[in-house]
Chain A
Amino acid sequence: EVQLVESGGRLVQPGRSLRLSCRASGFTFGDYTMTWVRQAPGRGPESVGFIRTQALGGTAEYAASVKGRFSISRDDSRSIAYLQMNGLKIEDAAVYYCSFSRARPYWGQGTLVTVSS
C-alpha cells in the first residue's frame, strides 16, 4: 500500500527556518518525481516545488513565491523527501503535503506549518 507521511511542521517565527520530511513506502521511491504542495487556510492547493528522479538529474524546481528560500532534496536510500524552508514568511503558513503520480496522484495527510511571532 502506498503511504506518504509528512512530518516536521510546527509553529515558527517569521524569518526562521524549518525542515519538513516526507517518508514514503509501498512504491519504488527513486523512480518518481516528488512534489511538495501546500494549502493555506481557505485557499486552494499550490505546488511549492518538485524534485526529479536521479535518472532525470535529481534537480529541483520551485514556485516563484518560494524560489531562493526553499529547497527540496531527496534520499532515495531511505525513501525520504525533504523541504527545507528558510526565511519563512507569514504567508508561508499552510498545510504542506508531499505527492507523486503513478497513474493517479498520491498525497500524504499533510503537516501544519504556522508562522507567527
Chain B
Amino acid sequence: DIVMTQSPDSLALSLGERATINCKSSRSILYNSDNKSYLTWYQQKPGQPPKVIIYWASTRESGVPDRFSGGGSGTDFTLTISSLQAEDVAVYYCQQHYETPLTFGGGTKVEIK
C-alpha cells in the first residue's frame, strides 16, 4: 500500500498568515499517461464529512476560495492557504487515489493563534 506522510500534525497561525501543509507519498502517484498526480486535499470541520478542496494535486474544486492552492508532483505535495481566515480552522488531509487501497495522510489541524 502507498503510505502518505503528512506534516506538521498541527499548525497555529494568526489571521492573515500563510499556512503550508506537506504531504509525501511512499511511491510516485503520477500517472504518466495523463501527467497528473492523483492527490486530493480535504478540509474537514467538526461533525462534517471531508470536503474536497484540491484534486489532481493542484486543481481547485469549484467554489473553493483562491487562497487555497496545491502544488507538487510525483511524491511531494503541499497545500497552501495564502491568508488564513477564521473559517479555515479545520483538519486537512491528503489522500492518494492513484491506486487502491486509497490511503490518507494523518491529518493537520489548523488553528488560529
Hey, which bits of chain A sit against chain B, CB under 8 A? Answer: 33, 35, 37, 44-47, 49-50, 61, 63, 95, 97, 99, 101, 103-105, 107-110
Contact = CB atoms under 8 A, between A and B. Distances in A.
A44 B102 contact: no
Given A47-B101, A61-B100, 17 more contacts: A33-B100, A44-B106, A44-B107, A45-B95, A47-B100, A47-B104, A49-B101, A50-B100, A101-B38, A101-B102, A103-B55, A104-B40, A105-B40, A105-B95, A107-B52, A108-B49, A110-B49
A105 B102 contact: yes
Nearest to B38: A101
Interface of B: 38, 40, 49-50, 52, 55-56, 59, 61, 91, 93, 95, 97, 100-107
A47 B50 CA distance: 14
Nearest to A101: B97
Contacts of A104: 40, 52, 55-56, 59, 61
A62 to B, nearest CB: 9
Contact of A107 (B38, B50, B56): B50
Contacts of A99: 102
19 contacts: A33-B100, A35-B100, A44-B91, A44-B93, A44-B104, A44-B106, A45-B93, A45-B95, A46-B104, A47-B101, A47-B103, A50-B101, A50-B102, A61-B100, A104-B52, A104-B55, A104-B59, A105-B95, A110-B49
Given A44-B107, A104-B40, A61 B101 contact: yes
B107 to A, nearest CB: 5
CB-based closest 3 A-B pairs: A104-B55, A47-B101, A101-B97
* Binding site secondary structure of chain B: loop
B52 A105 contact: yes
A103 B93 CA distance: 18
Contacts of A50: 100-102
Contact of A63 (B95, B101, B107): B101
B69 to A, nearest CB: 16
B49 A109 contact: yes
B92 to A, nearest CB: 11
